[in-house]
Amino acid sequence: MEASTPGRARRDRRRARVVGYWLSSPAVLLFLSAFLVYAPPSVGYLIRLPRGFHLSQDLVKIVGSTNFPVKVYVMLHQRSPHVLCATQRLRNAELIDPSYQWHGPRGKIISENSSIQVTSTGSLVFQNFEEAMSGVYTCFLEYKPTVEEIVKNLQLKYLVYAYREPHYYYQFTARYHAAPCNSIYNISFEKKLLQILSKLVLDLSCEISLLKSECHRVKMQRAGLQNELFFTFSVSSLDTEKGPKPCKDRNCESSRRLSKAKNLIERFFNQQVEVLGKRTEPLPEIYYIEGTLQMVWINRCFPGYGMNALSHPNCPECCVICSPGSYNPRDGIHCLQCNNSLVYGAKACL
């Protein structure tokens, strides 16, 4: 253990402000001191794997191609960019007496439609995009390049997909020196640990879930056997846009709340190391093993959506609605093949 310094002593005397309540060093010590036994302290380091994510953004205006259908991604419940009934060449050209007609999955689209609009210049715009709006959209364009020339016809196809931001979470693993593996004290300690972790992130509208807890006997290097608890738990954000008091402030964004929750959890485990380092009494029977906390970032999509960088290279980190012929029944990240699936966003293979 490192020697205590005046700076560290001052930091120890200060109480750590945790969202919703105060977590002092004595409180951490009380949490750790359930059972006493002599054990050597371990040393190590904290592994941090922070990772940010971003979603590919659609262009303000999207043009078509006569060679292949153009893929368009619209965030669920949002307004789409303008989908032009024109190629890149025709976009900047002068057209005489242009006539536009759009057809979607449900037939001809009229400009008076409240959810799908066709502008006077032939652009297609979606309002409050819904899953059922996903599909093939075809534009039929008639125009004259000049007054003297005959009418020309052009057909452009677009594949329009709903997409959502990934619903991601942090997964943590940590190890504790433990009581004998058949001891009920380990179970009691596990419950206390989960209660404290849940209380840490409660006011951030995040939740803790225990994924796995195992006890093993570990042969130490140049030492004997010791019992260790292997904890795996996750922290994920709850939906703050629902409920009696929906929160739409920037600080309510899932990524911000999860980042704060991650920092609180890391701080909590660091505090355990600091408190044990200053302890003069025998170590508790169950205590955190320094340097064993590890974290990974895990993406997941909602049922009916999935990620596929090959199929959707312009939106590789988007959870794109599953196309016909595929489905996603769980909160994984891939759409699975299903020949019986005939709709977009299938959640089952019937």
**Nearest to 224, CA basis, from 288, 177, 190, 276:** 177
Tokens of 343: 């709709």
- For the question of whether the overall pTM of this predicted structure is more than 0.75, the answer is no
The dihedrals phi and psi of 205, each to the nearest 5 degrees, come to 55, 45
Q: Burial letters for 218-227: b for 16+ Cβ neighbours within 10 Å, e otherwise? A: eeeeeeeebb
- Please say whether the beta carbons of 158 and 125 come within 8 A: no
Residue-level pLDDT, tens digit, the chain, 350 residues: 444 444 444 444 433 333 333 444 444 444 444 333 333 332 222 222 223 333 333 347 899 999 999 999 999 999 999 999 999 999 889 999 999 999 999 888 876 667 888 988 899 999 899 999 999 999 999 999 999 999 999 999 999 999 998 888 999 999 999 999 999 999 999 999 999 999 999 999 999 999 999 999 998 777 788 999 999 999 998 875 544 445 556 567 788 899 999 999 999 999 999 998 888 788 889 999 999 999 999 888 999 999 999 999 988 889 999 999 999 998 788 999 999 999 999 999 98
State which H helix or E strand residue 7 sits in: helix 6-13
**Nearest to 100, CA basis, from 84, 114, 89:** 84
